[in-house]
A and B are shown apart, each in its own frame.
Chain A
Amino acid sequence: GEDVEQSLFLSVREGDSSVINCTYTDSSSTYLYWYKQEPGAGLQLLTYIFSNMDMKQDQRLTVLLNKKDKHLSLRIADTQTGDSAIYFCAERVINTGGFKTIFGAGTRLFVKA
């Protein structure tokens, strides 16, 4: 079946690195995404990675993809209080019915000052 799972909560201290993990079940993924949603600030597409890539880095963000284990992670270096938000991972799959983007339930990141 199609499923994307994330842990519900993560708490880190300001200045530490945060690692948000995600696992998925469908092996026909084309892209994998990380979205961020802050209260009152709307949804944001943080980054995405092609399924044939292992890693992508963008400033403080590092995405790692392990296709064998179907595991995606988002590392935020030097986490700031402004990084407090809900982070959703998503997998875009293609099958005979067409395209579908499957979202995880979101990980709420708390950053302690």
Chain B
Amino acid sequence: GAVVSQHPSRVICKSGTSVKIECRSLDFQATTMFWYRQFPKKSLMLMATSNEGSKATYEQGVEKDKFLINHASLTLSTLTVTSAHPEDSSFYICSARGEREFARETQYFGPGTRLLVL
């Protein structure tokens, strides 16, 4: 099956720094990528949807200046947490789909990136 990778898998940073998380589709062209956030007690939030070559569509309540999403190619999307603070500590998960996945009503998920802000 299709594979989606995320890098890094785990990152620890100091408060006030920015952190970039990469999401790559390894064997298919991802026309659409999604970014999710999972909180410590397991609850999930969809943060944004990005289509290749266009601006991300953020979900209501998500700060677009805080969470910068770039989907510059059909295999790579990045999420940058700007000026990170301890409350941004979370598990960030990306998913991706191409045209075939859209037709099959499915998407492929990355393994997630755990961010800890000290």
Contacts and interface: CB of A to CB of B under 8 A. Distances in A.
A47 to B, nearest CB: 7
Contacts of A97: 60-61
A78 B17 CA distance: 50
A34 to B, nearest CB: 12
A35 B105 contact: no
Interface residues of B, number: 22
Nearest to B111: A42
B95 interface: yes
Given A99-B59, A100-B61, A101-B59, A45 B95 contact: yes
B103 to A, nearest CB: 14
Interface string A75-106: 00000000000101010000101111101011
Contacts of B110: 42
Contacts of B57: 99
A14 B38 CA distance: 29
Contacts of B58: 98
B80 interface: no
Interface of A: 35, 37, 42-45, 47-48, 86, 88, 90, 95, 97-101, 103, 105-106
Interface of B: 36, 38, 41-46, 57-61, 93, 95, 105-107, 109-112
28 contacts: A37-B42, A42-B111, A42-B112, A43-B36, A43-B44, A43-B93, A43-B95, A43-B112, A45-B95, A45-B106, A47-B105, A86-B42, A90-B46, A95-B60, A98-B59, A98-B60, A99-B57, A99-B59, A100-B59, A100-B60, A100-B61, A101-B45, A101-B46, A103-B44, A103-B46, A105-B43, A106-B42, A106-B43
